[in-house]
Chains A and B, each alone.
Chain A
Amino acid sequence: MKFSVIIDALPYLLGAAVTTIWVSLLGVLLGQVFGVVVCVARQSGGRAADMAGGVYVSFFRGVPLLIQLLLIYYMLPLIGIDVPPLVASVAALGLASGAYVSEIYRGALNAVPHGQSEAALALGFPAQSIWTRILLPQAFRISVPALVNELILLLKASSLISVVGVAELTRTSQTISASNYRPLEIYLAAGLIYLAINGALALFGTLVERRLQQA
């Protein structure tokens, strides 16, 4: 073990970690959007919407993320859409995450007592306000632990986008260790960086949970 190797590589690794963080962040945000839309559509959009949502969830939960990523990356150019690796990566992460998030919200919505929306109905709330003001805020609170878990899984899954050439933390580690022949030190450092980021995420989740519990 030669720790000076890590010191030399650290600026590159940290720079790549920033890419990992923001690709994951975009993926999570996209996943939240897909998740909420699919969940609400399945609950209130009739049978066709429920079935379409069901197919979406089964596909993106059932097919490995790596395969999804390669499909998006290689298939879209065939129909004339040229996707940069970064865009394909964010799209794949978002679509996959959306499938899980929609199920997380579905479970959380079932945990909101029926009387909550009934009180709003009796007051004459439009359906849209019942969703945005009563149901989703409560479902979100219930989901925070599961969402933090999903965030951590997604950040680790983002290592897969190295295969389409995005210079995130895993890809950069491969590149560096291929040139300095010190894979152990470099991968150890990369692992610790992932651990640190996820530790921070878990801490953030705990803080959010505690904040929401005060309400």
Chain B
Amino acid sequence: MTAVSQTATPPRTMVQGDAVPMVSIRGVGKSFGTNEVLRDIDLTVNKSEVVCLIGPSGSGKSTLLRCINFLEVYDRGEIRIEGTLVGYTEDTPRRRLSNRDLRSLRRNVGMVFQQFNLWPHMTALENVAEALVQVRGMDKASAASHAGRMLDRVGLAAKADAYPARLSGGQQQRVAIARVIAMEPHLMLFDEPTSALDPELVGEVLQVMRDLAADGMTMVVVTHEMGFAANVADKVAFLDRGRIAAFGTPREVFHESTEPRVQQFLQTYHERNSF
């Protein structure tokens, strides 16, 4: 069952003529010492798709996400973004990519973190403008005006001069998203973007993410928000103990999967979220 759902199911929204997928993960494995945290992962993300990674904590979903932009080093298999091998040279035996090449790859891949990771010594506007100056080489004035437009896009134009400490968690996460989209990434990675938020602040962040998805952004999202996965994702991958145990459309994973671990996970989720 797992093998079939991982590889053989043609993605529903895949544009057939579009040869190079945005992300292609083949046989990826990773170990911390003797602990195998990722085993033989295969996953394809096509352009403009939203793929949610769900599963119990410790299942390896965050580690997999962090391998995509090489914040985490994978040991086996290969990950390609728009055809380019992530983290290694194409030689055999492969060598680690130079920092310069890694940087040019990361420029096109944005990441949103659970803890926001805004820089506390910069205002919201400066947080968004900084990478434009340091990475894209824009002059300060145009970086600031571009950053202003990005804050406007996430509904925070009024908070441009506020320091992160003066913003709510939801606002901080929206600034973090603005910081990423300002770089015009081809792909965005979300590592549990709402897990550190008070429940009443989750909605505003998910709304921004829905808008991005509607604009055609390619997104890989590690999340515990099953509602978001069910309504926004094109594909859902359920990870368990370092493997993809189920993969398919939200309907296939949430309603039609016979995989007992998926059913158990969803059962626990429903019990926890009902009063």
Residues of A within 8 A of B (CB): 113, 115-116, 118-127, 129, 133-134, 137-138, 141, 215
Contact = CB atoms under 8 A, between A and B. Distances in A.
Shortest beta-carbon contacts, A-B, top 3: A119-B117, A115-B117, A122-B111
B135 A125 contact: yes
A113 B180 CA distance: 19
Given A113-B115, A119-B113, A121-B106, A126 B134 contact: yes
Contact of A137 (B109, B121, B134): B121
A138 B135 contact: no
Contact of B106 (A113, A124, A127, A138): A124
14 contacts: A115-B117, A119-B113, A119-B118, A122-B106, A122-B110, A123-B110, A124-B106, A124-B183, A125-B135, A126-B134, A126-B135, A129-B134, A141-B121, A215-B163
Contact of B117 (A118, A125, A129, A138): A118
Interface string B122-146: 0000000011001100000000000
Interface of B: 69, 71, 99, 103-104, 106-107, 109-111, 113, 115, 117-121, 130-131, 134-135, 163, 176, 179-180, 183
A124 B111 CA distance: 11
A133 B130 contact: yes
A119 B106 CA distance: 11
Contact of B135 (A116, A118, A119, A123): A123
Contacts of B71: 118, 121-122
Nearest to B126: A133
A126 to B, nearest CB: 7
Nearest to B113: A115
A124 B135 contact: yes
A123 B181 CA distance: 10
Most buried by B among A123, A125, A134, A215: A123
B103 to A, nearest CB: 4
A86 B270 CA distance: 75
Contacts of A121: 71, 106
B64 to A, nearest CB: 15
Contacts of A123: 106-107, 110-111, 131, 135, 179-180, 183
